[in-house]
Amino acid sequence: MGVYASLFYKNEGQILTDLTDPSQFNWITAHAEACKLTVPEVQRCWSRFLMLQPDQKGNVSRAQFCSTANVFGQKLLEQIPCTEKDQITFQSYCNAVSWLSKSPLEAKLRGLYQILTSGTISKEQLRSLMHNLYPREGPQTTDELATLFLNEVDKSNRGYIDEDQFLAWVKTLPQQTLMSVLHFPIIPSNITHLKEQEPSFPSTAVHFKDRSHLCDRQLLQVATEMSSKRRDWRLLANSLGFLEKDCSRLEHEHSEVKSQILALLQIWQKMSQEAPLPVLQTALRQSGNADICNEVFSLNF
């Protein structure tokens, strides 16, 4: 898979671990730009990557990353490039996930074939593959499966399978079956997305009926915590329905980050048409600020 795995390095010359780390406000947006992903996609990747307990620079050891009992899965994970210190960066992880999600079908098939072998697949290699796929079956069964598969794919009776033969055989499978196996969405379709809202500086503010459960002190505390922890407040702004031009306007009007965040929250509060507390809590969690949400609103999970 070398020719395809090399794409995991592509970052337009930017090595993000030299420029930022998880404590920086631009950690998510920098990866989104470098890896050609959307902010929600990078947020999803980061939430999964955090399960591997990365270090302070956002890296995970190869041994920890590739710890799976599935032989094929381990071979796939081993394609992701590592640093000289044998670590997987979040940037390489994002590039790999992007490739799996967005590559054309034929590129995925050829890449997966090259994970199995760098050349052709012999009957002996097929036996080993069948044994890994069906570890509970005996040698006779796996040998029969290897023979059947070889006869099915090797139409020229050469005694082995090459990449083009494999690709031609896979394409004879039902399209729906093939797509269900190779479909790799970064954000699963069952996850509810916040729908896009109208521009956030309307000419007339709409006041909601009850704001008693969200006070000015809490807004200030959110702004203070996000500022002190150097969080990317634009992610929160996007989750609340603000546009990029709105964020730029706030930066122009307020020199301090805390003031920018507080102004953002105050404007949003004035225009909110829904019960603001659960909306803000959801936006904080979806923008990578669950810890601040729990602290400010005294939530325990």
Is the CATH number of domain 2-102 1.10.150.20? Answer: no
Q: How confident is the model at residue 264 (pLDDT cuts 50, 70, 90)?
A: very high
Q: Could you report the per-residue pLDDT of 181-198, keeping only the tens digit for each?
A: 888 888 877 654 433 333
Residue from 162, 167, 161, 165 nearest 182 by CA: 167
The CATH code of domain 105-182 reads 1.10.238.10
- At 237 the three-state DSSP class reads helix
Most distant CA atoms of the chain, gap in Å: 77
pTM: 0.58
How high is the pLDDT of residue 220? 93
Q: What's the rounded mean pLDDT across residues 139-163?
A: 93
**pLDDT at 298 exceeding the cut of 60:** yes
Mean pLDDT score across all residues of the chain: 81
Instruction: Please tell me the distance from the alpha carbon of residue 274 to that of residue 280, in angstroms, as a whole number.
Output: 10
pLDDT tens-digit series, residues 89-108: 999 999 999 998 988 988 88
Domains 2-102 and 216-296 share a fold: no
Pick left, alpha or beta for residue 67 (phi over 0 → left; psi -120 to 50 → alpha; otherwise beta). beta
Mean pLDDT, to the nearest integer, of 22-32?
A: 85
Model confidence over 274-295: pLDDT tens digits? 668 888 988 898 888 988 988 8
Q: What does the domain layout of the chain look like in residue ranges?
A: 2-102, 105-182, 216-296
Torsion, CA 16, CA 285, CA 98, CA 78, rounded to 10: 70
Candidates 1.10.150.130, 3.40.50.12780, 3.40.630.10, 1.10.533.10; CATH matching 216-296: 1.10.533.10
3-state secondary structure of 256: coil
Cα–Cα distance measured from residue 176 to residue 178, given in angstroms and rounded to the nearest whole number = 5
End-to-end, the C-alpha distance of the chain in Å comes to 42
Angle at 157 between CA 151 and CA 160, to 5 degrees: 75
Going by pLDDT thresholds of 50, 70 and 90, the confidence category of residue 245 is confident
Residue 60 — φ and ψ, nearest 5°? -130, 140
Task: Identify the CA nearest to 210 among candidates 281, 277, 300.
Answer: 277
